[in-house]
Amino acid sequence: MDVLRAATTIGRVWRHVFLDAFLAPRRFRRLMPELRSICDAEYHPGIADVAVFDLPGKGPIQILDLDGSRGGMYSDDLYALLRVVRWLKPRRIFEIGTYNGFTTAHLAINSEAEVYTLDLPLELAGDLAGYTVDEKNLVHRKDQIGSFYRGLDVRERIHQLFGDSRTFNFAPYCGSADLVLIDACHLYDWVISDSDRAFQLLGESGVILWHDFASIADVTRACMHLAKKTLIFHLQATWLALHARGISIPGSRPVASGNVPASHETVLG
């Protein structure tokens, strides 16, 4: 019923929007991106919602900085991510997309895991063909990547890796991660590629998380494509989508470790 209600509401809104396109085209162009984002957040068929507070596992969560000046996730997303960490108690985390290391640091201080984090430095980026302006602005120099966690005691458990996730040799890490976080380039082909790697990185049981689902159109589209082949859930009131392998989450069924879509079975060199 919730899906039907959302679809009905969104259909009604879109009818007004298309009327606006004829009567007030300038306003239509200005509001379109925001409307698309709202629709993605409310209506994503094939992907069910899971309440963050229904996740198993309790315990204190340590958050270092929420003033917004450091970059990284918004507070609701960060809290939800760390709730997943408390639930899983992972031994190894693999993060695709370091940026300044804000999220990386929180993964480390809220777990005892070895955290492996990969980012593409400007020195190795080439001409960034296919990147949008926004994505190019996220590519930093080596000395900027991971700057947030460098002064922390947990830095000894953080292993910084450099390279392009589309060509990086993931083979030494395949099948070893309890938690994989995808938060790198937000373009559709890149998200699909990173997802293929994430399914291979994941061990017999564990979780993959995608950040910016229901926020950035290409990330949402990629997750909805993947959801046709494997179970993906949206963490309510966040920009996070979740896939669980070999473990149960509220309202879902266990996913066997061997139940990986054929497109995710390629061997990495």
Q: Can you give the pLDDT at residue 89?
A: 96
Q: Are residues 24 and 80 in the same domain?
A: no
269 found inside a domain: no
Confidence class of residue 267 from pLDDT cuts 50, 70 and 90? very low
* Residue 175 structural domain: 46-264
Residue for token digits 């159109």? 217
Q: Are residues 51 and 167 in the same domain?
A: yes
Q: Which of 219, 253, 245 is nearest to 97 (CA)?
A: 219
Q: Is 102 within 8 Å of 72 (Cβ atoms)?
A: yes
Residue 258 has pLDDT above 50, yes or no: no
Q: Can you give the pLDDT at residue 260?
A: 47
Q: Is 27 within 8 Å of 229 (Cβ atoms)?
A: no
Q: Can you give the pLDDT at residue 27?
A: 57
Query: 92 pairs with which residues across the strands?
Result: 114
Of 60-69, 115-124, 197-206, the least confident: 60-69
More confident residue, 236 or 179: 179
CATH number of the domain to which 207 belongs? 3.40.50.150
φ/ψ bin of 126: left (φ > 0), alpha (ψ from -120 to 50), beta (otherwise): left
pLDDT digits (tens, 9 = 90+) for 195-223: 999 999 999 999 999 999 998 989 999 99
Q: Are residues 24 and 59 in the same domain?
A: no
What is the four-CA torsion angle of 39, 40, 43, 49, rounded to 10 degrees? -140
Q: Can you give the pLDDT at residue 30?
A: 63
CA pair distance 92, 179, nearest whole angstrom: 7
Total number of domains constituting the chain? 2
Q: Are residues 214 and 164 in the same domain?
A: yes
